[in-house]
Amino acid sequence: MISDTSKRSSKGEIEDLIRARYSLIWVTSPEETRVEESLKKLCVEREMRLEVWSITEGFKVIANGQGTRDVKDPMKALDHVLRGEGRALYVLRDFHPFLKEPAVVRRLRDAATELRKTKKSLIVLSPLSKFPPELEKSISAIVDWDLPTRQEVEQAARKLLPNAPPATQQLVESDPTYMENVVEAALGLTLVEAENVFAKAMVRTHTFDLETILEEKKQIIRKSGLLEYYEHREEFSDVGGMDTLKDWLVKRRNAFSSRARDFGLPLPKGILLIGVPGTGKSLTAKAVGALWQMPLLRLDVGKIFAGLVGSSEENIRTVIKTAEAVAPAILWIDELEKGFSGTGSSGQTDGGTTSRVFGSFITWLQEKTTPVFVIATANNVHQLPPELLRKGRFDEIFFCDLPDREDRRSIIDIHIRKKKRDPGQFDMEKLIDATVDYSGAEIEQAVVAALYDAFDTGNDLSSDGLLHTLKEIVPLAITMREQIDTMREWARTRARLSSSRGRGTQQKPQGGWMAKYGATKGGLGDKAGENTGDDGERKLEL
Ligand SMILES: Nc1ncnc2c1ncn2[C@@H]1O[C@H](COP(=O)(O)OP(=O)(O)OP(=O)(O)O)[C@@H](O)[C@H]1O
Ligand SMILES: [Mg+2]
């Protein structure tokens, strides 16, 4: 199950759930105070009593009423909820440790059924969504609380303003884009993290120094262990060849602006780049960040399942939540097949976790309304679940083949220039002839090796030196001939070529790709969002 991906805020979502008489709601957030503040507002608006429970303090009424109730025992706390009168919302803080007790679980399940007949709802507020499977059917919804909005982050920054020297204060007043950039830099953090980052920048530089803020954000995002905030190191001009793919991307560089929305353009969802190793798929993903001037978050799919941090389901939600908070942003999923292979009918050894996580992911991919552009890269097409390749998931699937003559010309040119040499001094035609079936990565490797040789022998980088090192590299295309042909055949009908010229050397593989690799039909449904649908009297408030 995935959090709301539309523009509806978490507060709005809770309101809908309460009106729909969802009795037991699980809210996941590390930001207890922020969540409770929002719930308080909601309860004031809806004239509901809000009671918050913790093991140390028992119950405390914090909206529409007052008073405390000294019930620290979790079982008694649930009794208190059941006995409560009128319209009320109860929040249990950090209740998950008590769910190890079978009796508490039982009482909570009974409470969920009972409460449905009343005008009371119960929220379990926890930094984790960790509950025993018996409870799964009783929890009517899981809400992943949004990270702070731009307004909230701006408020946090402005709170610090009185501490700033007059020059900084003036800057904030006179240049509206200054604050916009500061806020942007801190998006994706919790409110406390944002406050800390601002404070640190202020102490260090007496301003909201963007570099300090971004550096801290990078650290914090990396600490989550799932995402990496990527620097714009690669320029778009570093990518050689692939004109079709590049045109597609250039055409969409303003596609996230409100001007594009007003014009009637849909929000681009994402692309999948598949193809031969070393042809620049990862490089393109990195370069799009610079082209579109958008933050690039790299997801390590393997880590979602590694079990080092959180549960897999929670991890994918964290990733989506962070990307949506940073949005407009690019979510780069490198080597997609490494995480999502085995979601089909075979190789399921994890009790369906991979399938569920994958289901959540594709549902989000298809339905998301936030400006998060997904670039997924893969080179093993037959490990990808077929559902992922269905229409509507990605805007386009591009196949990155080995570079043809012209593409090699530009790749050789790029790598010679990168070494601060003049490509005009090289015998380009010979080099192009010598690099048939070499990937961009192999061309780069040859340039680097030739540079070493030159340095060692006291010469400069030359065509001859390059031709020599090229001979020593056996391109993957030789050892992977069959796989590459199979991939080309696959791509012929399912993907667009990243380069307009293409190579057009498709041969029909024996028995066809589908037969060979047993691409599964139907494998897994979009199970995300499935509901439990048990009966019981409900009083909807419409
Ligand atoms: N089209 C290209 N233009 C310029 N350089 C390239 C190109 N393709 C590859 N390279 C060079 O090779 C390096 C490795 O390429 P990259 O990692 O992008 O390949 P990939 O397609 O992602 O491979 P894999 O499938 O193995 O992940 C790049 O950083 C770049 O230096
Ligand atoms: Mg790659």
Q: For ligand 1, is residue 276 a contact (CB within 6 Å)?
A: no
Q: Same domain for 325 and 186?
A: no
Residue 524 predicted with pLDDT over 50: no
Find the range with the poorest average confidence among 216-220, 402-406, 457-461: 216-220
- 5 found inside a domain: no
Task: Give the ligand whose atoms come closest to the C-alpha of residue 334.
Answer: 2
Structure tokens at 487: 């991939």
Say how many Å lie between the CA of residue 133 and the centre of ligand 2: 38
Write the CATH number for 414.
1.10.8
Write down the mean pLDDT value for the chain.
84
List Cβ neighbours of 7 (8 Å cut-off, separation of 6 or more): 369, 370
Q: What are phi and psi of 83, to 5 degrees?
A: -80, -20
Residue bearing the bigger pLDDT, 142 or 431: 431
Q: For ligand 1, is residue 277 a contact (CB within 6 Å)?
A: yes
Model pTM score? 0.75
Q: Express each pLDDT in 440-459 by its tens digit.
A: 999 999 999 999 999 999 99
DSSP class of residue 424 equals G
Confidence tier at 310 by pLDDT (50, 70, 90) = low
> What is the predicted pLDDT for the residue at 38?
95
Q: What are phi and psi of 220, to 5 degrees?
A: -65, -45
Residue 133 predicted with pLDDT over 50: yes
Strands 120-126, 24-28: pairing kind: parallel
β-strand partners of 58: 54
Write the CATH number for 350.
3.40.50.300
Mean per-residue pLDDT for 43-58?
Answer: 94
Q: Same domain for 137 and 271?
A: no
List Cβ neighbours of 479 (8 Å cut-off, separation of 6 or more): none
Mean per-residue pLDDT for 133-156?
Answer: 89
Q: For ligand 1, is residue 255 a contact (CB within 6 Å)?
A: no
Q: Same domain for 430 and 392?
A: no
Peptide bond connecting 328 to the previous residue in cis, omega within 30 degrees of 0: yes
Residue 415 predicted with pLDDT over 50: yes
Domain count for the chain: 4
Confidence tier at 503 by pLDDT (50, 70, 90) = low
449: containing domain = 405-436+440-474
Say how many Å lie between the CA of residue 306 and the centre of ligand 1: 26
The domain boundary residue, chosen from 91, 124, 144: 144
Pick the residue whose CA is nearest to atom 1 on ligand 1.
Answer: 240
- 511 found inside a domain: no
- 482 found inside a domain: no
Pick the residue whose CA is nearest to atom 30 on ligand 1.
Answer: 441
Say how many Å lie between the CA of residue 333 and the centre of ligand 2: 10
CA 442, 443, 449, 455: dihedral to nearest 10 degrees? -170
The domain boundary residue, chosen from 99, 118, 144: 144
Q: Same domain for 317 and 447?
A: no
Q: Same domain for 32 and 63?
A: yes
The domain boundary residue, chosen from 144, 167, 198: 144
Q: Same domain for 327 and 372?
A: yes
Confidence tier at 512 by pLDDT (50, 70, 90) = very low
Report which residue type is found at 365.
Answer: L
Mean per-residue pLDDT for 267-277?
Answer: 93
Q: What are phi and psi of 385, to 5 degrees?
A: -65, 135
Residue 531 predicted with pLDDT over 50: no
Residue 534 predicted with pLDDT over 50: no
Residue 111 predicted with pLDDT over 90: yes
Find the range with the poorest average confidence among 277-281, 338-342, 537-541: 537-541
Strand, coil or helix: 60: strand
Q: Same domain for 251 and 333?
A: yes
Residue bearing the bigger pLDDT, 409 or 354: 409
Confidence tier at 342 by pLDDT (50, 70, 90) = low
List Cβ neighbours of 352 (8 Å cut-off, separation of 6 or more): none
Q: Same domain for 208 and 285?
A: no
Confidence tier at 246 by pLDDT (50, 70, 90) = very high
Q: Same domain for 266 and 384?
A: yes
Mean per-residue pLDDT for 23-30?
Answer: 92
Residue 57 predicted with pLDDT over 80: yes
